Amino acid sequence: MQWGGGGESGRGMGRIWLLLTAMVVLLAWELAGEASRPQPNVSLWVLDHQGQQPPEKGALSTVTAESLDEQVSLGLKAHPVWLRLRVVGALPGQRLVLSNPLVQGVELLVCDDSGCRPVARETHFADDPGLAAALPQFRLPVATNELLLRVETDQAIRFNVQVLDDVDLHRYWRDLLLGQGLYFGLIAGLVIYNSLLLFSLRDTNYLWYLGFLSGAGAYFLCQNGLLLLYFPQMGARLNEALLLTALSVISICGLQFCRRFLMTARQDPRVDSLMRWLCWLLALAAAIAWLLPSFLTVVFYSLLGVLTLTAFLLSSVRGLWRGFRPAQWLLMAWSVLVVGVVLLLLVTYGLSPHNFWTLHGFQIGSALEAILLSLALADRISLLQRERETLLEEKARLHGMSYLDGLTGVHNRRYLDEALPAAVAQAEVSGRPLSLIMLDIDNFKRFNDGWGHAEGDRALQHLGKVIEEVVRDIDPVCRYGGEEFVILLKERDEHQALDIAERIRKGLATTPLTLLTGEQVLLTCTLGVAKRLEGESASALLRRADQALYRGKYAGRDRVVLNASGGVASTTS
Q: Look at residue 72 and give its three-state secondary structure.
A: strand
Are 195 and 366 a contacting pair, CB within 8 Å?
no
User: Which H/E stretch holds residue 42?
Assistant: strand 41-47
What count of residues does the chain have? Answer: 573
User: Which H/E stretch holds residue 572?
Assistant: strand 567-572
Q: Which residues of the chain have pLDDT under 50?
A: 1-13, 16, 30-31, 34-38
Which pLDDT score is estimated for 549? Answer: 94
Q: How far apart are CA 3 and CA 9, in angstroms?
A: 7
Are 82 and 46 a contacting pair, CB within 8 Å?
yes
Q: Look at residue 225 and give its three-state secondary structure.
A: coil
Contacts of 278 (CB under 8 A, 6+ apart): 251, 255, 304, 307, 308, 311
Are 462 and 522 a contacting pair, CB within 8 Å?
no
Percent helix / strand / coil, the chain, rounded to 5: 55, 20, 25
Measuring CA to CA, which residue among 463, 451, 467 is closest to residue 517? 451
Measuring CA to CA, which residue among 341, 332, 282 is closest to residue 309? 341
Strand order through the sheet with 137-139 = 71-75, 157-164, 95-98, 137-139
Measuring CA to CA, which residue among 124, 69, 72 is closest to residue 95? 124
Q: How far apart are CA 337 and CA 363, in angstroms?
A: 9
Q: What percent of the chain has pLDDT over 90?
A: 38
Summarised one tens digit per residue, pLDDT across range 82-99 is: 998 888 777 777 888 888
Summarised one tens digit per residue, pLDDT across range 519-537 is: 999 999 999 999 999 899 9
Residue type (1 letter), 483: E
C-alpha distances out from residue 224 to 6, 56, 228, 434, Å = 41, 36, 9, 78
User: Which H/E stretch holds residue 88?
Assistant: strand 81-88
- Other residues' Cβ atoms within 10 Å of the Cβ of residue 344: 23
Are 409 and 464 a contacting pair, CB within 8 Å?
yes
Are 245 and 289 a contacting pair, CB within 8 Å?
yes
Q: Look at residue 499 and give its three-state secondary structure.
A: helix
C-alpha distances out from residue 230 to 134, 169, 235, Å = 9, 17, 11
Measuring CA to CA, which residue among 176, 260, 272, 271 is closest to residue 224? 176
Which pLDDT score is estimated for 528? Answer: 95
Q: How far apart are CA 330 and CA 325, in angstroms?
A: 10
According to DSSP, the residues that pair with 525 across neighbouring strands are: 441
Between β-strands 525-531 and 559-564, what pairing exists: parallel, antiparallel or unpaired? parallel
Summarised one tens digit per residue, pLDDT across range 390-410 is: 776 666 665 556 788 889 888
Which pLDDT score is estimated for 37? Answer: 46
- Other residues' Cβ atoms within 10 Å of the Cβ of residue 480: 18
Q: Write the DSSP string, 170-212.
A: HHHHHHHHHHHHHHHHHHHHHHHHHHHHHHHH--HHHHHHHHH
Between β-strands 71-75 and 157-164, what pairing exists: parallel, antiparallel or unpaired? antiparallel
C-alpha distances out from residue 50 to 77, 136, 441, Å = 10, 21, 109
C-alpha distances out from residue 165 to 39, 71, 397, 401, 495, Å = 11, 19, 77, 83, 103
Helix crossing, 295-321 with 236-261: angle to 10°? Answer: 20
Q: How far apart are CA 14 and CA 232, in angstroms?
A: 41
Measuring CA to CA, which residue among 98, 115, 99 is closest to residue 107? 98
Q: How far apart are CA 167 and CA 172, in angstroms?
A: 9
HSE-CB at 188 with a 13 A cutoff on CA atoms is 6
Are 124 and 90 a contacting pair, CB within 8 Å?
no
Summarised one tens digit per residue, pLDDT across range 40-58 is: 568 888 888 888 888 775 5
Q: How far apart are CA 387 and CA 352, in angstroms?
A: 48
- Other residues' Cβ atoms within 10 Å of the Cβ of residue 17: 15
Residue type (1 letter), 253: C
Which pLDDT score is estimated for 45? Answer: 87
Taking all residues of the chain, what is their mean pLDDT, rounded to a whole number?
84
pTM, full prediction: 0.65
Summarised one tens digit per residue, pLDDT across range 437-466 is: 999 999 999 999 899 999 999 999 999 999
